[in-house]
Amino acid sequence: MMIDQGDILYGTTMVFMKDYMDISEKQTFEKGEFLFHEGDPAVYFYTLLKGGVRLKILETGHKIYMVNKPGEAFGWSSIVGRSNYSASAECIEPTTLLKINREKLGKLLEKHPECGCMFYKKIAEILGNRLIQCYELIASYS
């Protein structure tokens, strides 16, 4: 099971990619199932293989992001020092994901520091793009 190389594994080694896949769990969810709720302990990091996931803030009910491209990562709260998820994740169609336990991923990144640097660079890029989308959305309401 491999994921698109335009994703978070870009620039890492084949050994790292194999180790990453070895600690990943492939899981399938039905439409309407929640992967996690806002405020839940942030235990897993996810990568979309097929389907779609709506990230939303339940308190307001507003969608904040749609995960719908294979290889797209989310659940980043689990790997950036947050103890709880900042949004809820609901499958909008039958969805297949890779999920990785935060502690296993942390050990892998420590084992491969050069790849860990590339991994976090991609995470920063993902978060930067989402921030720009938020700015654009806010600007469209002005």
Q: What average pLDDT score do residues 24-33 get?
A: 97
Quick one: pLDDT at residue 5? 40
pLDDT tens for each residue of 56-75: 887 666 667 888 889 888 99
What is the Cα–Cα distance from 18 to 34, expressed in whole angstroms? 28
Regarding pTM above 0.85, the answer is no
Average pLDDT of span 96-112: 96
Q: Is 142 within a domain? A: no
Q: What is the pLDDT of residue 48?
A: 94
7 located within any domain? no
pLDDT tens digits for range 112-121: 999 999 998 8
- CA pair distance 107, 12, nearest whole angstrom: 16
What value does the mean pLDDT take over residues 90-104? Answer: 97
What's the pLDDT score for residue 126? 80
- Enter the tokens of residue 135: 């700015």
- In a domain? residue 21: yes
Domain count, the chain: 1
Q: Is residue 140 part of a domain?
A: no
Q: At what angle do helices 102-111 and 14-22 cross, to 10 degrees?
A: 160
CATH (domain of 20):
2.60.120.10
Top pLDDT among 12 and 96 is at 96
Range of the domain at 67: 14-133
- Specify if 2 maps to a domain: no
In-domain check, residue 109: yes
Distance separating alpha carbons of residues 51 and 19, to the nearest angstrom = 25
pLDDT, position 60: 64
Asked, for residue 139, whether it belongs to a domain, the answer is: no
Q: What is the pLDDT of residue 140?
A: 81
Say if 141 falls within a structural domain: no
Q: Which residues neighbour 61 within 8 Å (Cβ) at sequence distance 6 or greater? A: none
User: At residue 109, does pLDDT exceed 60?
Assistant: yes
